[in-house]
Amino acid sequence: MEATADYEAIKTTLADAANEHGEPHWLVERRLAAVDAMQGLAVPKADRFSIRDWPLTPTDQPLKFSRSDRTLATDVTAEEGHIQIVQVGQTTVTVNLPDELDEQGVILTDMFTAFREHPQLTEKHFMAKVVKTDEDRLTSYHTAFLNAGVFLYVPKGVTIKAPIEINTIQDSTRTQPLVSHVLIVAEADSHFAVTQHLTTEGDVTNIANCVVEILARGDSEVHYSAFDELGANTTAYLNRRASISRGAKVDWAIGMMNNGNTFGDFDSELIGEGAKSDAKVITVTTKSQDVCINTRVTNHGKKTDGNIVQRGVIMEKSNLIFNGIGHIIHGASGAHAEQENRVLMMSDDAHGDANPILLIDENDVLAGHAASVGQIDQNQMYYLMSRGIDKAQAQRLVIRGFLSTVIGAIPSKTVRTRLTNTIERKLEDGIEL
């Protein structure tokens, strides 16, 4: 439980830190308003899961900015020609943006540089349209205590063929929350892919409050993939959301392999006619982890198309809740919503649940869902073991196939390889034979 906070003192300390950091006036005012909002807001609710007692808004840890050791990023591959930004804590280590993209107006920079140099883009989009500051206590805390992040802007008609890589490394060599924001603006008819890798260096107990906002204008196409690999001593809140305009498409491929307790809230808002989104999420939970993932698609526009696929493997004494939420708003005629939530139990001591939720306020639609929680398929095991494969290897092969839907959707070969290796390591440590 968190201590009772003196919010006026927090506002004074926070304003001093933000002004010393050279932040624009509008951002400081937005931070202070967020502190006021926090006082009357609760943490978000999830079906069959509670984060009420999680220490996700540590107001006793003041906003401050300090440099991290750049050598914490030595494991990040920085290959020539990669479009890439690397951050350790609040320190930006690398920004690689080819000259031809810079000349076309593409912006890739750290969040605070964007606030200062591109206020016409950031002021109107940051926590204003896609994710709102006053939605709940976690989004208010995020605005008030923001201390890291990335801004990506792709102008109208620009296509970027290579994936854009964002490496966010939490510096847990000291006590400091990671409050990171990725703001992506895809102008009309732009096409590109983004891959984010979240990791932790150090063993200090911390929180991570990370928000991704994607604004996809008409006929744009964004493929966002994430490999989350935060540390065992990190309690994480991950909020990723897209607002998708007429004819635009945003696909998600998320491999959530954190080692600590995690609450994930992923959302696609299909605003314009013909908007589309495919959301694929996989996770492997181990030890005594508590993990809840809400993946939501809301069809606002006519002839919109939203799909959700969530697959999880639970081991040891872990707990995993999948909530798949499809909501078709009245007037969204011709909309299509499908979802599939499946949990594979590898331990009698683990607990898992897959909850499909369909909310339909329109008659002329097509919607469906599938959900399951169960043991590994014994027919598949028998087939593999009858061909001389031992039990452990057979289990890993079946699970790898079960999770392959997301792994194959990640564009970066390096990230795919690291994700596969992480899954293999978790399975090797957690499978009971």
Instruction: Tell me the C-alpha to C-alpha distance, in Å, between residue 54 and each of 111, 208, 236, 260, 279.
Output: 27, 12, 10, 12, 26
Q: Is 243 exposed, middle or buried (0-12, 13-18, 19+ CB in 10 A)?
A: buried
Placement of tokens 């943006």 in the chain: 97
Distance CA 199, CA 88 (A): 10
Determine contact, residues 300/270, Cβ cutoff 8 Å.
yes
The H or E element spanning position 202 is none
pLDDT in tens, 3-40: 568 999 999 999 999 999 999 999 999 999 999 999 99
What is the SS3 assignment for 8? Answer: helix
* The pLDDT of residue 432: 57
Cβ contact 282:405 at 8 Å: yes
Give the pLDDT confidence score for residue 433 in this predicted structure. Answer: 53
Q: Render 373-415 in DSSP notation, one character per residue.
A: EE---HHHHHHHHTTT--HHHHHHHHHHHHHHHHHTT---HHH
Q: How many CA atoms lie within 13 A of 85 on its CB side?
A: 22
Mean pLDDT rounded to a whole number for the chain: 94
Q: Do β-strands 91-96 and 83-88 pair in parallel, antiparallel, or remain unpaired?
A: antiparallel
d(CA 393, CA 28): 55
What is the distance between the alpha carbons of residues 308 and 293, in angstroms, rounded to a whole number?
12
Chain centroid to CA 339: how far?
19
In the chain, domain spans: 7-271
The maximal CA–CA distance of the chain, rounded, in angstroms, is: 69
Indicate whether 77 pLDDT > 90.
no
Residue 431 pLDDT exceeds 90? no
Question: What pLDDT digit, counting tens, does each position of 343-400 carry?
Answer: 999 999 999 999 999 999 999 999 999 999 999 889 999 999 999 999 888 988 999 9
Please state, in angstroms and rounded to a whole number, the distance separating the CA atoms of residues 407 and 75. 21
Q: Could you tell me whether strands 148-154 and 107-110 are parallel, antiparallel, or unpaired per DSSP bridges?
A: antiparallel
Closest CA to 280 of 320, 305, 248, 312: 312
**Order of strands across the sheet that contains 178-186:** 107-110, 148-154, 178-186, 206-216, 234-244, 262-270, 290-299, 319-328, 351-360
**Interatomic CA distance for residues 254 and 227, integer angstroms:** 6
Tell me the C-alpha distance between 10 and 82, whole Å.
Answer: 41
Residue type, 234: T
The predicted model gives 300-329 an average pLDDT of: 96
Q: What is the DSSP string of 29-72?
A: HHHHHHHHHHTT-PPPPBTTB--TTS----TTS--------GGG
| CA–CA distance, 178 with 173 (Å, rounded to integer) | 12
pLDDT tens for each residue of 220-242 = 999 999 999 999 999 999 999 99
Q: Which two tokens stand for residue 177?
A: 């929350």
Question: Hey, CA dihedral for 174, 179, 184, 185, is it positive or negative?
Answer: negative
What average pLDDT does range 235-256 have in this prediction? Answer: 97
pLDDT of amino acid 133: 96
65 phi and psi angles, rounded to 5 deg = -125, 130
Task: Check pLDDT > 90 for residue 76.
Answer: no
Q: What is the pLDDT of residue 3?
A: 58
Give dist(CA 183, CA 21) in Å, integer.
20
- For residues 153 and 158, give the distance between their C-alpha atoms in angstroms, rounded to a whole number: 10
Instruction: Dump pLDDT digits (tens) for 331-353.
Output: 999 999 999 999 999 999 999 99
pTM value?
Answer: 0.95
| pLDDT over 90 at 287, yes or no | yes
Which H or E run contains 236? strand 234-244
Looking at the chain, the whole-number percentage of residues with pLDDT higher than 90 is 88
Rounded to whole angstroms, the Cα distance separating 6 from 16 reads 16
CB 263 within 8 A of CB 231: no
Q: 90: pLDDT confidence band, cut at 50, 70 and 90?
A: very high
pLDDT tens readout for residues 147-193? 999 999 999 999 999 999 999 999 999 999 999 999 999 999 999 99
Q: Evaluate whether 38 touches 57 at the Cβ level (below 8 Å).
A: yes
Amino acid, single-letter form, for residue 176: Q
On whether the CB atoms of residues 88 and 169 are closer than 8 A, the answer is yes
